[in-house]
A and B are shown apart, each in its own frame.
Chain A
Amino acid sequence: MVRRVLSLTSGRIALVILTVIALLAVLGPFIAPDNPLATSPDTLADASGAHWLGTDYLGRDVLSRLLDGSRVSVLGSLEVALTALGVGAIPGILSVYFGRVFEWVTLRLTDTLVALPFLLFAVAVVALLGNGITQAMLVTGVLVSPLFYRVARAATLAVARSPYVEAALISGASIGWVVRRHVWVKVLPPIAVALAQTIGVGFVIVSTLTFLGIGVQPPAPTWGGLLASDLGYLTQKPWAPLVPALLIMVTVWACNLLADAIRDVSGEAGRALVNNRKARANRLAGTDSDADLAHVHAGGA
């Protein structure tokens, strides 16, 4: 599946951007040119050789703060996505098999979670239950889990009603075996799509919470915190929010792009895509001059 995603241009772009962001998160604090917390007398300086992105209102180097803050955003969004995956997908799959009571209860619970305005709830819970980005992300993960529940449940339902699963059950296969052997393969692609989307949503939520100053202690740098501090000095430095804002937007965009790419190469759409490519490759092969190129295409698909 990874190879098929890579065969799409959009998939390649998305993976490259996300890899760069992940590298920033891992290496950011080490490659930061300055101490992100060190203040200096030249406040609100423009971009220069010493400070590539200028300095903030306390004279701290913006680039260093950006690099240092990337870890919080990346870890936070991954935490949201993985929590949502665990809390949502497993009950979603099991709801098809565990009988009506379990189904009813989990369905009502997801209805409830959807009805909760999650940003408001995240703000409330974090402020009341202790200030930590980890708690915030766990709560948000639970609140966005209905997406996974629905996706997993819909995919499982489609598989569970299919003749080959029935045949497997009649011939004496256990539910665990059927889930591992048949259900997983069909359920995994939609879940991967949801996961990519949720990582993007997680980025927005982490930066929103840090923008509000929730979940982190003040001097620690975050992408959202950078934007919040820029907001007070728009008259002096109108371009300051540009880089952090672009960074957040590009990351979210890459996540959505990846989700679309996975959707395009999996399931019915994926089969259509592969068939289209084969057909095109055959047509090109028929016109002899591009035969070699066509083979490369077919191999890539």
Chain B
Amino acid sequence: MTTTEAPATPPDVRHRIATTGARHTLGRVLVTLARSIAIFVPVFLVATFVTFALRSLSGLSPARIQLGEEATPEAVARVEAQWGLNRPFLVQYVDWLGGVLHGQLGTSWTNGADISTLIGLGLGVSLSVAFFALIIGVVAGFALGTIAALRRTTWIDRAITGFVTVISVMPAFVVGIVLVAVFAVGLHVFPSAGYVPAAQGVGPWLAHITLPAVALSFDVIADVARQLRTSLIAAYRENYVTGAIVRGLSPRRIFFGHVLRNGLGPALATLGLKFPTLVGASVVTEWIFGLQGFGRFANDSAQAGDVPAVQGVLVVSIVLVVVFNLIVNLVLARVTPASQRGV
């Protein structure tokens, strides 16, 4: 009934409808934001608690690092008191968490440097690589998944599915080694190690982060492509697509207006789950490609027994994951019609 009346509606009424729609959208975004934060605050608290508990569980102490193995118990106690480790556990946790919330991650046990600064130095490297990997993964995965879904059950679909299966079983470090062997050692196309900040030129910067980003992206490509193919094919079977065909809409409009918007959800949700893996895998790629990122920093400090530094890296990674998931949730709420209805 509304469709027949719609052309007769005066412009100002339509405008009013549009503003209410905008207000609705804003409200929905806020509701999603509130709901996501309600989930993520407990997550953050539990995760930081586990992270902090690592020190007590590990039984490591700054005294061992500063004084060596043959320190007298009095000297150990003195150093631990200096670091405030003789206070009750919960007091230490609240104190530390307060610092974390203000961006203060404490000082390193090994060299007394400010951990926030140290992580900040490496974060630029890691984030460049991670986001470049994410972009490659999304673009390639999106293209492969869409083509496979549009040409389903043809040889193109089978070839893509086979390719995706192969790259999905390649661990990041295997891909990394192969890339180094082929493109850096064999063909001399890319540098095999090192990092140049973007401030010194975008070309060298891209050249240095391309190989690590490609190594990281394989996993994302495989997951996005597979997920997208499945959900797009499922969306094509829905009744509203049949309805759209019956109404005579063009294939392009059906794809972008109906199939893609409804099929995008699972692929986006996968992306949210994939991000922790990307952050974690940076430990490996940074080791292979000789990048001084924060994964490398985590590995080095963990091997040295520098507990506050490790805790700092973990907190930063948790924050990154939580923020990224928040963004994914918001995009998800905006894009897919089903999540707008609250289904």
Residues of A with Cβ closer than 8 Å to B? 108-109, 111-112, 114-121, 123-129, 200, 204, 207-208, 211-212, 224, 227, 230-231, 234-235, 238, 241, 245, 248-249, 252-253, 256
Contacts and interface: CB of A to CB of B under 8 A. Distances in A.
Nearest to B219: A204
Interface in B243-296: 273, 276-277, 279-284, 287-288, 295
Contacts of A108: 39, 42-43, 46
A278 B72 CA distance: 79
Given A112-B47, A124-B314, A211 B169 contact: no
Nearest to A239: B181
Given A115-B322, A126-B302, 6 more contacts: A117-B276, A121-B280, A123-B299, A200-B169, A207-B171, A208-B172
B94 interface: no
Interface stretch (B6-14, B16-24, B303-311): B303-311
A227 B174 contact: yes
A212 B277 contact: no
B283 A120 contact: yes
B202 interface: no
Most-contacted residue by chain B among A112, A129, A249 (CB, 10 A): A112
B313 interface: yes
B178 A245 contact: yes
B180 interface: yes
Interface stretch (B53-61, B138-146, B331-339): B53-61
Interface in B40-80: 40, 42-43, 46-47, 50, 54-55, 57-58, 60
Contacts of A109: 46
A155 to B, nearest CB: 19
B329 interface: no
A124 B313 contact: yes
A239 B9 CA distance: 72
Given A115-B43, A117-B321, A120-B317, A128 B185 contact: no
B185 A115 contact: no
B173 A115 contact: no
Contacts of A248: 171, 174
B276 A208 contact: no
A118 B279 CA distance: 9
14 contacts: A112-B46, A112-B50, A114-B276, A115-B47, A117-B321, A120-B313, A128-B305, A128-B307, A129-B57, A207-B171, A208-B173, A208-B284, A238-B181, A253-B169
Nearest to B176: A231
Given A124-B302, A245-B177, A248-B171, A114 B273 contact: yes
A200 B314 CA distance: 25
Contacts of B282: 120
A230 B302 contact: no
Contacts of A114: 273, 276
B57 to A, nearest CB: 6
Nearest to B184: A234
Contacts of B178: 241, 245
Contact of A127 (B43, B186, B303, B325): B303
Contacts of B314: 116, 120-121, 124
Contacts, number: 136
A245 B166 CA distance: 13
A281 to B, nearest CB: 23
B318 interface: yes
Contacts of B172: 208
A253 B165 contact: yes
B321 to A, nearest CB: 5
Contacts of A119: 277, 280-281, 283-284
B116 interface: no
B288 A231 contact: yes
Given A111-B43, A121-B314, A211-B173, A241 B276 contact: no
A248 B54 CA distance: 31
A233 to B, nearest CB: 10
B54 A125 contact: yes
A62 B14 CA distance: 75
A230 B288 CA distance: 11
Interface string B17-36: 00000000000000000000
A22 B173 CA distance: 23
B186 A123 contact: no
Nearest to A119: B280
Nearest to A241: B177
Contacts of A117: 276-277, 279-280, 317-318, 321
B223 to A, nearest CB: 12
B325 to A, nearest CB: 7
A227 B173 contact: yes
Contact of B58 (A123, A129, A200, A252): A129
